[in-house]
Structure formats: structure tokens, C-alpha cells
Amino acid sequence: MENVTPSSPPGQTYLMDYNYLALVLGILLILVIILGNILVCLSVLTERSLKTATNYFIISLAVADLLLAVLVLPLYVYSEFLGGIWTLSTSICDALMTMDVMLCTASILNLCAISVDRYIAVVVPLKYNRNQFSVRQLALITATWVLSLGVASPVIFGLNQVPNRDPTVCKLEDDRFVVYSSVCSFFVPCPVMLFLYYWMFRGLQRWSSRSRSQAHQVGRRGFFLHLGSALRRAIDTTPGSQNKIVFTASPISPTSPSTFSMATPCATPLGEENQDGTVNGS
């Protein structure tokens, strides 16, 4: 099918082959991403038990993916449906490239911010409050979006406006910016995440070994205490080791009518009763 693109010179035509498979799969992908991220946001915002500090980073990540599905993917699907030919203006193309770089960078930096938050929770747990959204979490989320906008801003400020630009192709025209955005969006955050998760793993290993050693010491101490009490009970219940002593009180002596005196009873042992019931006199 022949079609004249809006930005092409007069008389220049392009043969377009509509890609219906890309259209169907692209629409399904967009719907799944939108539905999934909306459910994530609603579950955290409506469920009280899910309103933790870490889950606010999850909301920020979901918002980045949601905006990517709403603002970026439809234009890419439209271009692929037309056979990869860009039929819109170059200004829309520059806005698309800016949003693409910014939102992809925001997604990766949100993952990096989650790893930083988890590292703080593992290394300094006494200073971490998982049930309260603190200034530290707000600063991390704000820095994520500001850095993402800073990485993508050169495109919207005219970096993509190069001489002899092909208006039928929407891409990043400056190869140096492609390298720069790749470094900022992937090659720097990825090693940082791996490093933080490695130290988290080491910290959890040390904590687990300390817990096991303390539990072992407590278990040994409890075992010896239990063994000692069992031996004492065994010794106390041995036949012939304990005698019963029987006491009796002597009668009170009579008192004269003129005087009144208290007679104190005295307890004198009569004998020892053995285990067989016989009494030995003293």
C-alpha cells in the first residue's frame, strides 16, 4: 500500500505493509502492564498492612511502568503497525524519546533505590522503621525521578535535532547520548545493586551464624541445668537417704488459782521413723 507521510517531501511515497500481529500483541501487552500496575498501586494504597516503607518504592516503580505503558508503548506499537515508518512530527518523536529514556531510567533507578533501602534495613535495623514512611525514603524516591529527568532532558532541549535527519525514522540521533544514557540507566545502577545485595547476603550470613551459636550455647546451658536437677531429684528419692522425724508437744502443767502463767509447749523428738514404718527411740 502506498502512502505519503505527513513529514515527507511532496511526491515522495512509501510502501507500507501493515503489521497486524504487532498491533494485536502490542495492545495486549499494554493492557496487561496497565492492569497489573494499577492493581499493585491499589493494593498498597487500600490495604493498611501493605503500607510499609518498602512498598512505597514498589508504588514508584509501578507508576514508572504505568506511564511507560500509557505514554510510550502506544506510539511504538503504532509505528510498528505501519511497518516501522514514523508518520508523526519530529517534535512528537523527540518527546517520545525523552519519555522513553526517562521512564526506563526511572524504573531501573527505583530498583536500585529498593536495594539501598533493603541494605539499610539489614545493616542498621535499629535505625530502620518499616512501618513509617520517613524522610529518607522520600529523598530516595525524589532523587530517582530527578536523576531520570536529568538523564533524558538533553533530548527535549534539542539534542536530537541534527542536520539531514530522516523524518520517517524515530530514534536517538546522537550516538554519544546513546552511550551516556546506557551508562546512566544500566551500567551504573546494575553493579550498585549487585554490590548491595552481596553485602546484604554477607550480613544475613553473619547474623544467622551468630544466632545459631547463641542458640547452641543456650541449649547446652539448659541441658546441663536440666541434667543437674534430674540428678538431684534422683539422689533425693534414693531409699534410706531421707528419714522422717516425728515431733510431739509436752502437756501444759497446771496453774494455781491465784496466779496465771502461760506454759510454753516444747517440741521434743520422740524418735525417727524409718522407711519401713518402725520408730527408733532416742
Return the pLDDT at 1.
Answer: 45
Domain spans in the chain, listed from the N-terminal domain onward: 2-187
* pLDDT, tens digit, 9 for 90 and up, residues 220-263: 666 667 666 766 776 766 655 444 444 444 444 444 444 434 44
Where is mean pLDDT largest: 16-20, 121-125, 276-280? Answer: 16-20
* pLDDT, tens digit, 9 for 90 and up, residues 137-192: 889 999 999 999 999 999 988 888 888 899 999 999 989 999 999 999 899 999 99
* pLDDT, tens digit, 9 for 90 and up, residues 62-71: 999 999 999 9
The Cα–Cα gap between 91 and 167 comes to 10
Q: Does the reported pTM lie above 0.75?
A: no
What does the DSSP assignment read for 19-74? -HHHHHHHHHHHHHHHHHHHHHHHHHHH-GGG--HHHHHHHHHHHHHHHIIIIIHH
- The CATH architecture assigned to 2-187 reads Up-down Bundle (1.20)
**Cell 533507578 belongs to residue:** 109
What's 183's DSSP letter? I
Number of neighbours of residue 230 by Cβ within 10 angstroms: 10
The three cell numbers of residue 40 are: 499493585
